[in-house]
Structure 1
C-alpha cells in the first residue's frame, strides 16, 4: 500500500455563479473529513452570502484580490498574502474587483455544506 496519494482529478463543484471550485482533498474528492484543500477562481464582481462556518478556513491568494468582511471589518488580500479565519466567525467572501481572483482554500475540519451556515 502506498504511503501517498497524488490527486490528478479533483472534484469540480457545480456552481451557478461562475466560480471555479476544484476540491483536491476533502469530503467529496477523497472522503477526508479532517481537511479540505481546494483551488478556486472567483470571477470579477462575484460574492457569496454571509456565513458562519463551523470550521477554520485558510486562504492563500495566487493572483488578483479577494475581499473578506469578517464580523464588521473589511479586509482585502492580494497575491502572495494569506489569512486564517477562525471557526464560528461570521464572514462574507467576495471579489468586487475587475479581475479574477485565483486562490487556494484549506478548511479544518473539511468543508461541509451542512456546517457552513450560509445566510439567505
Structure 2
C-alpha cells in the first residue's frame, strides 16, 4: 500500500552567497513540487535582498529574532511568534538590519522559483 505522507529528513540546502541559510523541505528545488514550497531560513544580521515583485503569495512565520519587510513603501517589522502573508505581484524587500539572526519559516504558493521572483537589479 502506498504511503499517503512524506517525511522530509534531508531538505535541499539552497546555495547562497549572502550568508543566508535556506533549507527547502518541499518545493521546486527539493522535490520538483511547483504548487507549494516550504523552507526554513536563517537570515544573518545585516542581510538584505533587492526589491522584488514575486508572482506567488508568500507566508512568513518568525521563530526567533526580527525581520524587516518594505511592502509597497511601508516598513513592517515582525518579531518571534508573528506571521505575515504578502500577496503576489506586490513589490517587497526583505532584510534583517538587526543585531541577531532571524530564524523563520517561509511558504510560497505557487512554489518559489527564481523565474517568478522578479528581483530588481541592485
- TM-score interval w.r.t. the shorter chain? over 0.9
Q: Secondary structure at the match of 1:3?
A: coil
TM-superposition CA deviations, 1:56-99 (whole Å, max 9, x none): 00000000000000011000000000000000000000000000
Find runs of 4+ consecutive structure 1 residues off by over 6 angstroms.
none
Look up the match of 1:90.
91
The 5 Å alignment of 1:25-40 reads 25-40=26-41
* Residues in 1 aligned to 2:44 and 2:7: alpha-carbon distance in whole angstroms: 28
Structure 1: segments with no counterpart, 5+ residues: none
Q: Does 1:68 align with 2:87?
A: no
* Residues in 2 aligned to 1:27 and 1:44: alpha-carbon distance in whole angstroms: 27
TM-superposition CA deviations, 1:3-60 (whole Å, max 9, x none): 0000000000000100000000001111111100000000001000000000000000
Q: Secondary structure at the match of 2:30?
A: helix
* Residues in 2 aligned to 1:64 and 1:28: alpha-carbon distance in whole angstroms: 26
Structure 2: segments with no counterpart, 5+ residues: none
* Residues in 1 aligned to 2:29 and 2:61: alpha-carbon distance in whole angstroms: 21
TM-score in terms of structure 1 length: 0.99
TM-score in terms of structure 2 length: 0.98
Look up the match of 2:48.
47
The count of aligned residue pairs is: 120
Q: Secondary structure at the match of 1:115?
A: helix
